[in-house]
Amino acid sequence: MGPHTSSDDPGRYRSQESTAAWEGRDPLLRLRAALTGLGAWDEDREKALQSELADEFREAVREADEAPEPEPQEIVEQVFESMTPDARAAWEVLRHG
């Protein structure tokens, strides 16, 4: 229900009424309510999961920060099964300057 990117304005293509209508259908909230109703979920489990996910996220960020910088030409590699002519030209420029 959120914007596609941080620079996106969903108000350009979706009304507030439409968004509000879908908020009640949010599958995450519906699943949480169903699991809570079955006694399979509660606030303590929620907090434990949030903590675990925050730790996992911090570890992933640390690993990314420690990873070697990619080579410039990697920006166009492995994007398509075979490079388009424009991608090939960009790759050649990055590769050879």
- The range of the structural domain enclosing residue 95 comes to 70-97
Q: Would you state the pLDDT for residue 62? A: 98
pLDDT digits (tens, 9 = 90+) for 50-87: 999 999 999 999 999 999 998 877 777 777 788 889 88
Report the domain count for the chain.
1
pLDDT digits (tens, 9 = 90+) for 19-60: 888 888 999 999 999 999 999 999 999 999 999 999 999 999
Q: Would you state the pLDDT for residue 74? A: 77
| Structural domain contains residue 93 | yes
Q: Would you state the pLDDT for residue 47? A: 97
| Structural domain contains residue 59 | no
Spatial separation of the C-alpha atoms in residues 7 and 9, rounded to whole Å = 7
Geometric angle at alpha carbon 11, from 10 and 16, rounded to 5°: 105
| Structural domain contains residue 57 | no
| Structural domain contains residue 4 | no
